Amino acid sequence: MKLKIVVLVCALALAATSSAAQDAVKYDVLDLPAVPSRLASKSLIYSISKFGDRYFATGQHGHILYSDDGGTTWQQAEVPVRSSILDVDFPTPELGWAAGHEGVILHSSDGGKTWVKQYDGLRYGKEGLAYYQALADANPDNELYPLLVEEMEFAISQGADKPLFRISFPTKDHGYALGAYGMVLETENGGKDWVPVLENVQNDGFYHIFDFAPMPQAGKFFASGEAGLLLAVDINEEIAQRVETIPWEGSFFTIIDAANGGLVMGGLRGNMFRTDDVGATWTAVKKPPTSAIVDSTRLADGRLVAVGIGGEVLVSTDNGVSFTNVQVGGAGQLYTSSGYIYAVAEGPDDTLLLGGPNGIRKVTLPK
Amino acid sequence: MAHATQSDLPVIANLTEFDEQSGTFLEKLVFNHRGIVLALCVLVTLVLGYMATGIQLQAGFEKTLPKAHEYVLNYQANQNGLKGLGNNLRIVIAVKEGTIFTPDNLRYLEKVNDEVFFVPGVDRNGMKSLFTPNTRWRVVTEEGFEGGPVIPGDYDPDSPKSIAEIQLNMVRAGIIGDLVANDMKSMTIIVPLLDKDPETGERLDYAHLSDKLEEVRTRFAADDPDKTIHIVGFAKLVGALIDGLLAVMGFFAIAVVIATLLLYLYTRCIRSTLMVILVTLVAVTWQLGILAWLGYELDPFSILVPFLVFAIGVSHGAQKLNGVIQDIGRGTHRYIAARYTFRRLFLAGVTALLSDGVGFAVLMIIQIQVIQDLAITASIGVVVLIFTNLILIPVVLSYTGVGKKCVELASREVKSQEDMHVLWRFLLSFTKKGPAAAAIIVSVVLAVGGFYVRQDLAIGDLDPGAPELRPDSRYNRDVAFMIDNYSVSTDVFAVIVKTEENGCIDYEGLSMANELEWRMRQLEGVEDVGGLNIRTRQIMMGLNEGFPKWEALFRNQDTINYSVTELANLDYVDPGCSIWPMPIYLADHKAETLTQVVDTLEQFNEEWPSADIQFLGAAGSAGFEAATNIIVKKANTEMLFYVYGAVILLCLLTFRSVPGVICAVLPLMLTSILCEALMVWLGIGVKVATLPVIALGVGIGVDYALYVLTVILAKTREGKDLTTAYYETLNFTGRVVALIGVTLAAGVVTWSLSPIKFQADMGILLTFMFIWNMFGALILMPALAVFLIKPNKDAQPA
């Protein structure tokens, strides 16, 4: 009798645990808010940028940080997701957008202190499919739409696997988000609706788009990407055309506009190229060999700074014709987690803010 | 326990007048066939002595683990899948002048590297260093990955160009802080060890391996002031512990010498002193022989048992000797004196030994193998002592008798209270109300103070490095060197991550691992976290041309699959893709740090229960220490409860008087409190090694009370006042109590010299307890008796 009771109790306990396990909520970073952490500014940072007087840095676990003292101390924003956040943009001091992994787009209307989710990658395939299916049905002669329908079906099968690398709002209503596998989203109502605009982008291979920089002409910019992809984008014409003059087929992770109207691109294996004629011709930048160039910025005094992922800091005083290695005060050991650089921004008073796997470092830059 | 007084048996000088049929059955059995008994003992000694020579030394760590704790069970169940944690040695070769990148230094390093390669027991395929071909660099290019060994085939140490190439490769391989020190002044060889010799199939002999490595170290670094070799890893630690064991054996000789001297000073008789020491050594031989026969191995804990057995044996031998000397002094024939002593003291001795046994037996409740082994081996020793020291010593004394000098000493008139040595008069004063009250007040103050201090008593080990060894030991200096110059920690708490077969690639599971990793990183004591999920994020970035914005666990199953496959080849996960360790590297192994980690893991599991993935505690040194701390903390209170329960019961049975029990137990409690305060003061935490100390201290400490208080109680029952009762007690057993305290302390105090840290801790604490308990019995106990025990007014003083 006793034994039977024991067996029964065990069975009940088993049933209880297994039903508890079945009831378990699925762990998904898209559903979970970021948690305040003392380590946020000391762990992986993907991007650093400055809008007005406020600096922003983005990282893993839904980290969006802001600093009002030139990057010395950082506050952590309230963010509704735990995705890796890769970029922010603030067209006005109050209104800002952020983008990141899982195709997430966030919006802030209080200068970046609190954020709400506007979009995620699960919607990309679903809404994109409906959008392009409608277009394909309405335009049966168009050859591109069925391809895009296929791409969206593939996107649905993959789930929210695509990061958005950059987000840009030329005005407070009109914005773009650029990302992996050629993902380009556009909004004209401050992010209430995000619409894929792949049909206007000449990127048949669905290559990743990593960065963008404005051309001297208003309303135009370049977007650089994987395998030598460079797109000349015209906002007014709503078209992005592939630039065929690129002399090299490696990936360009970063592109920066020089003070003289030239453009400089950097990428894999430390390759850098520049153009003075809006992409008609390209020349190789004179520079020492470095690891892959992953970010660049233009300082207030017109110097250009490019960083190698291994920890090299390169400076150009001639609008990108040549770069030289500089020793920044407080640099870590090259090729170690203390030395890796993932992101760069100009700090106040001859400093650079460097982001990397160990967080944000404020280093001094020789004049 | 009936302590018969000395004068109740007739003095018989002539052997023929003695009735051989008098005495107990056991006495008749032993003494009427004493030749046979002696011959049997010699035979047993020869047989067991031969067996004792075959006893094995071992210093494995499994036995120190709390075997019933879920962490240990989890580890044992998943051991085969956790190869990544591995049984590795790290050998660091350092230069003082310049960096390792000079032609001479590179040649030297390569030579040592090759030498290590050929040490038997080394898994040569898995060995990894700057010089092994499996240390490769890799960069992402537009065409994919490009790479090669860090030291290429055409390497030439004399060519600056070749050296520059190696340095670049080293940087690109990302081995700084791992295989090459952050300051470029040393390099590391990671040496995985084979559990079994592939040719002979024999188990890895740690002592032998350690010796071989020591030989390499001596050959390459001993005479060169510019070079040092540091060896860190479990195998070397075991080697150091075995060296420590051998050193401790040497201390046994010192303990024997001290005990011999003490006994001689007490008896002034070389013949009987040597006899008692010899018979006690026979007891130790028997004990070791029985252990070898039963298949026990000597480990750093059980090696201490012979010391205890010896000390207890000598103190009981002294008892017997005392009795025989006094009888012979009175004129009794040596054979009859031996029989009288046996008759009087056999039962008392058995009771006292049993009370020691209680202290040992209580240790059996602690679910840690080494402590249980300690309990069993010590109990065997106590049983052996009943044969040797309670039976054999009287038998041998019946042949040898004692020296004249000590007989003269013993036959002197007993001094009156006034003429006694100042020390005895001092002790006697505590039977007066004033000094007694003072003693009690001082004790209360000590107890309160001790209680206050002991609140800070920490659980676990407190010093950095391997807690088994002293902080300044060679091994721990090597560990410190390693930690200073490399980005590694030796305190690892490895969460065991478990899924279904092939479940390790599940995005949600890896995502939860990220969450747990991040929570762990928030803790103050966590320096770094490793594991499949972290490396997966890095490989996923590598597969996407190394662009940092890809360094994340993104939900692309193909990329995850590819990354994990690559990592399975590197032992980050078992080949079945179902078990992997998440090593959490800690700043130290203090209990507070470990508790935080354990709590974080438990809280995570409560918040995120999952049917698909389990995050189990825990492997790694810190994981086991966390489990040990949990068990030890619980066992510490439990054990006090049982040991005091047993002692109180024993006292109650013996004294049949509640005030008597209070008088006996309160001094012991004071000692226990002060011992814990001493631990705080000396920075010793409650750990596996200190658990037995209080049990032994109390179990053996109650002996004193048994010897002193029984006599006092007997006398007061006869109606004598306390001062007289105590005076007579001191004359009878009191002096032996002092001798016992000192010989017990002498047996254990030598441990404090041991290179093994916890043995030293045990030695210091046990010495303190033995001595302090002795004072407790001689001072506090009579002081308490002043207020608690009233002489029987009805009985007429004899």
Query: What is the interface size between A and B, counted as CB pairs within 8 Å?
Result: 107
Question: Above 50 in pLDDT, residue A4?
Answer: no
Chain A CB contacts of B563 below 8 Å = none
Q: Which of B139, B172, B554 sits opposite A161 (nearest CB)?
A: B554
Using one digit for the tens of pLDDT, what is the confidence trace for A155-214?
A: 998 888 899 999 999 999 999 999 999 999 999 999 999 999 999 999 989 999 999 999
Residue B303's pLDDT is: 85
How close is the nearest chain A Cα to the Cα of B622, in Å?
A: 23
State percent of chain B over pLDDT 70. Answer: 96
Mean pLDDT of chain A, nearest integer: 90
The span from the first CA to the last CA of chain B, in angstroms, equals 21
Tell me which residues of chain B have a C-beta less than 8 Å from any C-beta of chain A: 139-142, 171-172, 174, 176-177, 182, 487, 508, 511-512, 515, 518, 521-522, 544-552, 554-557, 608-611
- Span B360-366, mean pLDDT? 84
**For residue B83, what pLDDT band results from cuts at 50, 70 and 90?**
low
Chain A CB contacts of B511 below 8 Å = 27-29
Residue B672's pLDDT is: 93
Nearest to A331 by CA among A285, A300, A366, A296: A366
Question: Above 90 in pLDDT, residue B569?
Answer: no
Question: Above 90 in pLDDT, residue B409?
Answer: no
Residue B691's pLDDT is: 85
- Which range, of A9-18, A138-147, A152-161, B259-268, averages the lowest pLDDT? A9-18
Using one digit for the tens of pLDDT, what is the confidence trace for B644-668?
A: 998 898 888 888 889 989 999 999 9
Total length of chain A: 367
C-alpha B440/C-alpha B436 separation (Å) is 6
C-alpha A271/C-alpha A274 separation (Å) is 10
- Which range, of A228-232, B439-443, B747-751, averages the lowest pLDDT? B747-751
- Span B440-446, mean pLDDT? 95
* Nearest residue of chain A to residue B146 (CA atoms): A269
**For residue B60, what pLDDT band results from cuts at 50, 70 and 90?**
low
Please answer yes or no on whether B610 and A21 come within 8 Å at the CB atom: yes
* Nearest residue of chain A to residue B549 (CA atoms): A46
Residue B144's pLDDT is: 67
- Span B583-592, mean pLDDT? 89
Please answer yes or no on whether A210 and B547 come within 8 Å at the CB atom: yes
- Span B289-296, mean pLDDT? 91
Residue B793's pLDDT is: 67
Handedness of CA B470, B475, A338, B541 (dihedral sign): negative
Residue A132's pLDDT is: 94
Question: Above 90 in pLDDT, residue B584?
Answer: yes
Question: Above 60 in pLDDT, residue A266?
Answer: yes
Question: Above 70 in pLDDT, residue A251?
Answer: yes
Question: Above 70 in pLDDT, residue B6?
Answer: no
Residue B582's pLDDT is: 94
- Span B166-195, mean pLDDT? 84
State percent of chain B over pLDDT 90. Answer: 28
**For residue A265, what pLDDT band results from cuts at 50, 70 and 90?**
very high
Nearest to A194 by CA among A172, A221, A174: A174
Question: Above 80 in pLDDT, residue B451?
Answer: yes
Please answer yes or no on whether A61 and B518 come within 8 Å at the CB atom: yes
Which range has highest mean pLDDT (A52-56, A289-293, A335-339, B369-373)? A52-56
- Which range, of A75-84, A307-316, B140-149, B479-488, averages the lowest pLDDT? B140-149
Residue A316 and residue A310 in contact, taking contact as beta carbons nearer than 8 Å: no
In angstroms, the Cα distances linking A261 to A107, A210, A223, A235, B421 are 32, 21, 16, 19, 107
Chain B CB contacts of A38 below 8 Å = 522
The span from the first CA to the last CA of chain A, in angstroms, equals 88
- Collapse the DSSP code of B798 into the 3-class scheme (helix H, G, I; strand E, B; otherwise coil) and give the result: coil
Residue A11's pLDDT is: 44
Provide DSSP, A13-76. Answer: HHHHHHHHHHHPPPP-TTTS-----TTGGGS-EEEEEEETTEEEEEESTT-EEEESSSSSS-EE
Q: Which of B142, B522, B557 sits opposite A268 (nearest CB)?
A: B142
C-alpha B658/C-alpha A185 separation (Å) is 88
Using one digit for the tens of pLDDT, what is the confidence trace for A130-157?
A: 999 999 999 999 989 999 999 999 999 8
Using one digit for the tens of pLDDT, what is the confidence trace for B776-786?
A: 988 999 999 99
